[in-house]
Structure 1
Amino acid sequence: MGAKKKSEIICRCNNISRETIEEAIRNGAHTLNDIFDTTSAGVGPCGGSCRRKLGPLLEYYLKNGTFPDKITEDLTGKGPGPKKD
C-alpha cells in the first residue's frame, strides 16, 4: 500500500507525484509557493485544482513532522456554484 500512496499523482497537469511533493517539503519547501516553484505542482493549465490537496498535505507535515496516510482535500469554497438560468 505504501508504494501506491507514494506514486499517487497529485498534480495531473504536470504529472507530479506525491513522492516528489513530499520530497520537496522535506527539503525545505514550507509554503505553497515553495512547492509550486520547486515541483511545478499547482501551476498547471487547470488553474491549480491540486492545491486542495497540497495545502492540507503541507499543513499536516508542518504540524506533525510526518505525512498523512490519506490526504484530506480542502473543499472550502468548492460547493455548488451559483445557479444559472
Structure 2
Amino acid sequence: MSKPTKTEAELIAMARAELKAHLNCPDGIAISVLRDGDSWELRATADATTVGKPGYPECVAMVVQIGDHLSKQYDVS
C-alpha cells in the first residue's frame, strides 16, 4: 500500500506549522526537502546570525523529528 503524496511545499508548510506549535524558533530558519531515492527527509539551514540565536539547536532537532514523522506518512511528489 502506497502512502499519499505531498509536494515539497506542502511538506515544508506542514513542518513549519508543527514546529510553531511546539517551539518558539528564531526567524531565518530555512527548511528544505532532501531526497534520496524513494525516501526523503527534512533539513534546516540558517545564516550565522540565526544559528547563534537561543533555541536554534532545539529547532533543528525538532525539524529532523518532524521530517522523520512525516516521511513515514507521506511520499514526496
TM-score class, shorter-chain normalisation, is 0.3 to 0.5
In our comparison, the structure showing a higher alpha carbon Rg is: 1
TM-score by length of 1: 0.35
Q: Which has the higher strand share?
A: 2
